[in-house]
Amino acid sequence: MRSVIVYKSPELLEKVEKVLLDLGHEVKSLPKPSRSLESFDFIVSIGGDGTILSILQEVRRCPPIFGINSGKIGYLTHSNSTDFEDKIRIALKKFETEKFERVKCSCGDSDCLALNEIAFFGKERGKLTEITIKIDSEEVDRIRCDGIIAATQIGSTAYSFSAGGPVVEPYHPSIIIVPVAPFRFGWRPFVVRMDRIVEFEAKNPGLVIADGKKIFEAKRVTITKSDFPAVFFKRDDRIKRVFQIIRRIE
């Protein structure tokens, strides 16, 4: 099978290449992800969650990803620098995968995908912006805030969590709507099904940020379930992993 390694940490690269070659796979290594990743049978990521998110920024059709954590949190990864050899051998032997929905953010002819979240902010720092929230074309609220987040259940432990959003288990496809610094007492985040159509509209053009990367400017954005899920090698302890991550953050 054709494999590709995307690495942020070159220290592990040789060891990972050797394991894959010993298992009979073709191997290519890239220091930065590109759209060419779609043509491989599977991807090995050496880095942290940010490395995996950068891979997903480049691909629509997603080959299965195996993550080796050399970062801090490693919520999306499968192993670390000390135990990856056994775990990658087992994963490739079983070749069991799982899919997690991504969201698509659209504005006119522009769109982007995100696994964790779409964030929509006013362009002027330190200034509140009024954002109208619609779900399935129905206006549900208007709120003054610094910005607003539409997170997936996978992203519920990321930026959404730091903004006061709830933790949602990874196998419950959801869009979590969380305002950032809302100018209203008692406003709480809420969760809708992934197949809802969520719209944010501001009085003035704002910034659209997908998984931490600024994508484009827009006055109105539509967020829907993407047709291109993220695909990972299966991790049997993924639910337990959520609680481990939260305890570590606290």
Residue 133 · residue 177 · CB < 8 Å: yes
Say how many residues make up the chain: 250
Say whether 49 is catalytic: yes
Query: How many CA within 13 A on the CB side of residue 144?
Result: 6
Q: Which single residue is written with the structure tokens 């959520």?
A: 242
Residue 168 · residue 75 · CB < 8 Å: no
Backbone angles phi and psi of 88, in degrees to 5: -70, -35
Query: How many CA within 13 A on the CB side of residue 206?
Result: 26
Residue 189 · residue 177 · CB < 8 Å: yes
Kind and range of the H or E run holding 119: strand 117-122
CA–CA distance, 244 with 75 (Å, rounded to integer): 9
Q: Please tell me which residue in 22, 41, 49, 109 is annotated as part of the active site.
A: 49
Q: Known catalytic residues?
A: 49
